[in-house]
Structure 1
Amino acid sequence: MAKIGLFFGSFNPIHTGHLVIASYMANFTDLDEVWMIVSPHNPLKNKASLANMYDRLEMTHLALGNAERIKASDFEFHLEQPSYTIDTLIHLQERYPKQQFVLIMGSDNLLSLRKWKNYEVILREYEIYVYPRPGYSDKELESHPSIHMTETPLMEISSTFLRNAIKEQKNVQFFLPAEVLLFIEGKGLYRR
């Protein structure tokens, strides 16, 4: 049975920080693979600032190239929207009964976990690998047996920062993979 880490995100756009986290989880933990699940619409986020989901999926594919043990997934594109993590997990378990799924999230998401649909079920049924985000901590949840705090390098790059920088025509070449930057420029994404 393979142990698959599920890294959910809008990836709007995907950036170096996301890739470092995925790479750390795939190579420095006991996970066999990491699936970067592009979320069409996170129920807790504003949909207006989202690039088209197929563009975000394409950028994720471009960013990963032929990365070993990390792949982009459009699994949530085929589910009812907005998609809640618990529903996605149930569908994944039905589709891939021989896999063991683990959630990957930042400590900022861990802080809001109690707002998630059926979060108690998630905590009971799934392990959660948490990467640190500066200024976010939940000591009570961090000591839960399902929660594994990792030593993933701190990444303070955000997609919001990058969207704003692109809109202001700043040079972001080292924040994004070159192929992703070319795609964004070619499509004129995040310009207005």
Structure 2
Amino acid sequence: MKLTGLFFGSFNPIHVGHLIIANYMANYTMLDEVWFVVSPQNPFKEKKSLGNMYDRLEMVNLAIAGSEKLKASDIEFSLPQPSYTIDTLIHLHEKYPNREFVLIMGEDNLVGFTKWKNADIILRDYKLMVYPRPGYDAGVLRQHPAVTMTDTPVMELSSTFIRKAIQAKQSIQFFTPEKVIEFIDKKGMYS
């Protein structure tokens, strides 16, 4: 049974913070691999603020090219929107019965986890690998048997910061892989 970590996100755009988290989870925990699940629409985010989902998927593919343990997934592109994690998990479980899926999330998401659709079922049926986020404390949920707190390196970098830097015509070198920067430039994204 392959242990597959699911790292959900908008990846608008993907950056080194995302890559460090995924690499840590794939190489320093019991996970065999990590899938970047590109969300067409997060129920907690406005759709108009998101880049085209195919462009975001392509940026993830460019960022992880050559990695054996990291993969990009467009599984939510064909599911009803907005995407709810429980629906995606059920769909993946049916499509890949020989894999065990584990959720990867930041402690900031764990703080509000009880507001998620069917959070109780997710905690009952799935494991959660949680990376630290400064200034957040999920309190009692940290002790839940389904939750594993990790020592993932902490990096304060966000896609919002990168989009604002692009709009202000500031350098984003080293914040995201060079191939992603070239793609953003070629497409004229975020400017």
Structure 1-normalised TM-score? 0.99
User: What is the Cα deviation at residue 145 of structure 1?
Assistant: 0.4
SS in structure 2 at match of 1:83 = coil
In structure 1, list runs of 5 or more residues that go unmatched: none
Say yes or no: does 1:135 pair with 2:145: no
Q: Which residue of the partner structure matches residue 126 of structure 1?
A: 126
Say yes or no: does 1:49 pair with 2:52: no
The sequence identity of aligned pairs, in percent, is: 62
Q: Deviations over 1:63-101 (max 9, x none)?
A: 001112110010100111111000000000000011000
SS in structure 2 at match of 1:152 = coil
One-letter amino acid matched to 1:182: E
Say yes or no: does 1:182 pair with 2:188: no
Residue correspondence of structure 1 range 62-141 to structure 2 within 5 A = 62-141=62-141
CA RMSD of aligned residues (A): 0.5
User: What is the Cα deviation at residue 14 of structure 1?
Assistant: 0.2
One-letter amino acid matched to 2:58: E
SS in structure 2 at match of 1:129 = strand
Tell me the number of residue pairs that the alignment of Structure 1 and Structure 2 aligns.
191
User: What is the Cα deviation at residue 47 of structure 1?
Assistant: 1.1
SS in structure 2 at match of 1:172 = coil
- Dislocated runs of 4+, deviation >4 Å: none
Distance (whole Å) between structure 2 residues aligned to residue 155 and residue 107 of structure 1: 13
User: What is the Cα deviation at residue 151 of structure 1?
Assistant: 0.2
Q: Which residue of the partner structure matches residue 158 of structure 1?
A: 158
Q: Which residue of the partner structure matches residue 29 of structure 1?
A: 29
Structure 2-normalised TM-score? 0.99
One-letter amino acid matched to 2:184: I
Distance (whole Å) between structure 2 residues aligned to residue 67 and residue 153 of structure 1: 19
User: What is the Cα deviation at residue 138 of structure 1?
Assistant: 1.2
User: What is the Cα deviation at residue 155 of structure 1?
Assistant: 1.4
Q: Which residue of the partner structure matches residue 172 of structure 1?
A: 172
Q: Deviations over 1:152-173 (max 9, x none)?
A: 0001100011111111010011
One-letter amino acid matched to 1:103: L
Q: Which residue of the partner structure matches residue 15 of structure 1?
A: 15
Distance (whole Å) between structure 1 residues aligned to residue 169 and residue 102 of structure 2: 38
Distance (whole Å) between structure 2 residues aligned to residue 190 and residue 183 of structure 1: 12
One-letter amino acid matched to 1:87: D
